[in-house]
Structure 1
Amino acid sequence: MSPADALAMLDRQIAENGQTVTLQHDGVSYPLRAFVRGYSPREIGNGIQQGDSKVVLSPTELAAAGFPADEAPERLDTLVISGRVRNVEYATPVELGDAVVRYDLLVRG
């Protein structure tokens, strides 16, 4: 699968099944769609706590929201999810080849 194919597949899934969140980065708010899910009990540990959530962001959604192209989500950014402000603890880019095809975030709060 090419990076473009993987990104297109993610974008379709987020459009169909994602939810609207607001990423706050460097004092600027970026509304976009993302996957948000809780961690299962067996995933708790190794830095993951009960109540944490995994958020998947698409580079396409970030660009469409006006997020700076030369930056990435990072620790201490915040996400507003269903009206609740949550802190980004980890922001991990996932690459396929040399292209970032998604960002996996661990959010808390």
Structure 2
Amino acid sequence: MLDRQLADHGQTVKLRKGNTAAGEVAVKAFVRGITADEIVGTITQSDKKVTVSPTDLAIFGMPAAGGSVVVDDKPRAIVGSPEILKMDDVIVRINVVVKG
């Protein structure tokens, strides 16, 4: 279901393993603002939450801290570890918080 929603309504972002475009991959994602109840530590309301499907990550692998997500042509650093959501022990979505 997530794949269908991303295809219909998601925006294209680029995932990078570091600060370089080498090996980046373009995927569809939902990009949302951070809500007040999600603010903790260094996370602020100017940060974004990016949701991607594991289907798009077969070649790239799991996004991780130290990597970045290019949103609206602006690289944003991934903060912390991704939030991995599973249903029946199968990964169904990955959420990452990005700064910048």
- TM exceeds 0.5? yes
- Residue in 2 aligned with 1:4? none
Aligned ranges 1:22-61 → 2 under 5 Å: 22-25=14-17, 27-40=22-35, 42-47=36-41, 48-61=43-56
Q: Which runs of 5+ in 2 are unaligned?
A: none
Counterpart amino acid of residue 86 in structure 2:
E
State the match for 2:83 in structure 1: 92
Quote the Cα distance in structure 2 between the aligned partners of 1:12 and 1:107. Answer: 24
* 4+ residue runs over 4 A deviation: none
1:18 to partner: Cα distance: 0.4
Q: How far, CA to CA, are the matches of 2:37 and 2:66 in structure 1?
A: 22
RMSD between superposed Cα atoms in Å: 1.5
2:69 is equivalent to residue 79 of structure 1: yes
SS at match of 2:28: strand
Deviations 1:13-61 (A, max 9, x none): 1011100000001552011110001123x23522321211000010112
- TM-score if structure 1 supplies the norm length? 0.79
TM-score by length of 2: 0.85
Deviation at 1:100, TM superposition (A): 0.8
Unaligned runs of 5+ in 1: 1-8
The structure that is helix-richer by fraction is 1
Q: Which residue identity is paired with 2:48?
A: S
Q: CA deviation at 1:97?
A: 1.9
Q: Which residue of 1 aligns with 2:96?
A: 105
